[in-house]
Chains A and B, each alone.
Chain A
Amino acid sequence: MTPRTTFNYEMEELNKEITEMAHASRTAFERSVQMITDMDFSLREEVRALDKRIYQLNEQIDKHCLDIIALHSPVAGDLRLISACLKMVEDLNRFGRYATDIAELIDDFEGGKAFKRFESLRTMSCLVVGIVDDAVYSFLQRDAEKASHLHERDDAVDALYDSIFREILTYMMEDPRKITVGIDLILVARYMERVADHACNIGEYVYHMVTGERLDPKLRTGNVEQAPCGIFEHPDPRSELDLK
């Protein structure tokens, strides 16, 4: 008999739960971005349902991790996985919350015309979806190398957010009737910027989980020029999102 059968079973179950949560969080955020890119408001219900499931999984995984610690005293790689799960669920949960916030906020925005003017918001959405994808897959594939580069791409997102903020501010100053839609657009950009930050947190946990080392703070000082984000290499959001 394999030693620690019950413990191995619990770890496999935990892995299934966190994998489901990672997929659900990634999908929820993708769908909310798809609402922006396609103006497809029918996706709103799906985002709400996913957010509900993400919240349930957050509670379930949190409890499961504490049970395993209390009953099985995990060490080494097992302990690092549990530590990563305990922290990751908070960030994955935030993906779901921000996805819902974006989905609730998005209206037709003047028949989509507002978005056409803010192409940079589309670009930002592509970039953030890419970071979220890589954060989730770095965890699923235990890929420390992928996890270690997320911060560099986050710098590009931050720069884009600043640029979008100034752009929309100018737009609102020119035409005060656009303030409502302008603020909504700024909030959407802000939520996406926060999602990228949470994705970077996941990268840190994954790096520690896989290597046992903390991510070198020097890696966090990248800039837009150095970032291998390829933000202008994916003009079509569909190619980034792999949407059907």
Chain B
Amino acid sequence: MTTAIHTDDLHVYFEKNHALKGVTMDIGMNEVTSIIGPSGCGKSTFIRCINRMNDIIPGCSVKGAIMVDGADINDDDVDVVNVRRRIGMVFQKPNPFPKSIYENVAYGPRLHGVTETVDGKVRRRKHTKEELDGIVEHSLRRAALWDEVKDRLDKSGTSLSGGQQQRLCIARTLAVNPEIILFDEPCSALDPIATAKIEDLLVDLKKDYTVVIVTHSMQQAARISDKTAFFYLGDLIEMGDTKQIFERPQKELTEQYITGRMG
């Protein structure tokens, strides 16, 4: 397994509240890793650290290393905008911009522009219309939404169903060409059919991206992930192959949680 993300003794404090207590773990490249655990165990806090979303929370401090591609993303000289481009995030509730479907997907690439080297000089320019069209189509196809919206790209993103909106948000994340995508309970507001589509999509996406998902549905973790990590009260209790975790967990706490006798 090639490691995409390595955390070393990661601690997170919200003022005096010690939310994560020294989490050390490796997340494999091109794998789906599920984070499970009861409410308040630190799983969302953990993935929000990975793209520095906790930076915007007053009183939050992060200690320990989060290594991506050999560099600590918390280093002072790291450009946080670039971190969030490389490590995208999809949230619990679909949050499309109040713009057209096309603009929702084109927004990120338009903002970042194209960085290219001409005659030995690095320069940045805007995308051409054709380039943007290509990115929008490719991203919507990759998010399994293209066939459903290709004839109404100018319609508002908020006019789509919940499941379509969530896939639009995934397409929006893919449009800036990330390496890692974080999902924070992406199906909790969706019906079973929309959930199944997102799950199929996540499994398909791992061919090109590293996927980390926080989920309250243990069956969802069992269905789609290669590795599963169980958090409890801010500690990483156990992490392993999903089959091992759900068939023969090594820790009593994990067994109690996944069999529903605790939590």
Contacts and interface: CB of A to CB of B under 8 A. Distances in A.
Contacts of A212: 247-248
A76 B259 contact: yes
Contacts of B255: 76-77
Contacts of B219: 73
B218 interface: yes
A79 B255 CA distance: 11
Given A73-B219, A75-B218, A76-B255, A3 B262 contact: yes
Interface string B183-220: 00000000000000000000000000000000000110
B258 A3 contact: no
Interface in A1-25: 2-4, 7-8
Given A73-B219, A76-B255, A77-B255, A7 B248 contact: no
B247 A4 contact: no
Contacts of B249: 76
A78 interface: yes
B258 A4 contact: no
A8 B218 CA distance: 18
Contacts, number: 37
B246 A75 contact: yes
Contacts of A78: 259
Interface string A59-97: 000000000000001111111100000000000000000
Nearest to B246: A75
Size category of the binding interface on chain B: 10 to 19
B247 A74 contact: no
B246 A76 contact: yes
Nearest to A79: B247
Interface residues of A, number: 16
Contact of A74 (B248, B254, B259): B259
Interface string B235-263: 00000000000111100001100111111
B246 A4 contact: no
B222 interface: yes
Contact of B258 (A2, A76, A211, A213): A76
Interface in B154-174: none
Contacts of B258: 75-76
A77 B259 contact: yes
A212 B262 CA distance: 21
Interface in A30-75: 73-75
B262 A76 contact: no
A78 B260 CA distance: 10
A13 B198 CA distance: 37
Interface in A83-127: none
A7 B260 contact: yes
A3 B261 contact: yes
B62 to A, nearest CB: 32
A74 B249 CA distance: 13
Interface of B: 218-219, 222, 246-249, 254-255, 258-263
Interface of A: 2-4, 7-8, 73-80, 211-213
Given A75-B218, A75-B246, A212-B248, 20 more contacts: A2-B261, A3-B262, A4-B261, A7-B260, A8-B261, A75-B222, A75-B258, A75-B259, A76-B246, A76-B247, A76-B249, A76-B254, A76-B258, A76-B259, A77-B255, A78-B259, A80-B247, A211-B248, A212-B247, A213-B248
16 contacts: A4-B259, A4-B261, A8-B261, A73-B219, A75-B218, A75-B222, A75-B246, A76-B247, A76-B254, A76-B258, A77-B255, A77-B259, A79-B247, A80-B248, A212-B247, A213-B248
